[in-house]
Structure 1
């Protein structure tokens, strides 16, 4: 699906998504990703059932205000013990399907929020 591109000069914006990939600034990225306003990196968990505390603790390094966890094609909720380090650091955590996480990321980024998307592939 193609998404409407909001203005965000120099920032990573989701412009589309499909089976196993997302488009960021019209460039295709496959697999699981961590996306901030200025960085795109591969994210380690191979799938939802393999999520571990370490995967969420790694997100602390980005110093986000809020983390959008995209759980893949369907909305699934990560167990709170997995992201306890984020909660203890006062970082908001939202679980949603990956498509919703992409759309929400763009909205929060447009509001100049320090948002981080941690995405499992659709």
Structure 2
């Protein structure tokens, strides 16, 4: 029996490495917001140390079911107080390193979920 993956209309993260993320085979060298419903834009903070509570308020207003936060080369968690806007809107947030976040985004987007990946480069 031959299995073939279902074709998803969601944009896909097709590669990543130090300092770059490819979405549908186009390389980007900034932190990104990537959404299964078409969102693709640079995200202000480049490093974990650049994050602020305002960055998570922006995420809360994106109308996503779940947000995958890629915290850079290692898994780091934002202060819980910064997540209040997400909790108030009942938006889930999963935190992991950026490489893991890219893979997880692809799985969820492929399932047709309304997911956004907020990906830091460093």
TM-score for the superposition, normalised by structure 2: 0.89
Structure 1, unaligned runs of 5 or more = none
Q: Could you say which residue in structure 2 is the equivalent of 1:16? A: 15
Q: How much does 1:65 deviate?
A: 0.5
Residue 107 (str. 1) matches residue 107 (str. 2): yes
1:2-81 superposed matches below 5 A: 7-9=7-9, 11-37=10-36, 38-81=38-81
Q: CA RMSD in A?
A: 1.5
SS in 1 for 2:117: strand
Q: How much does 1:6 deviate?
A: 7.2
SS in 2 for 1:46: coil
TM-score for the superposition, normalised by structure 1: 0.89
Aligned length: 117
SS in 2 for 1:17: strand
Greater Cα radius of gyration, structure 1 or 2: 2
1:45-73 Cα distance to aligned partner (Å, 9 max, x none): 13211211110111123200101100001
Flag the structure with more relative contact order, 1 or 2, with Cα contacts below 8 A and sequence separation at least 6: 2
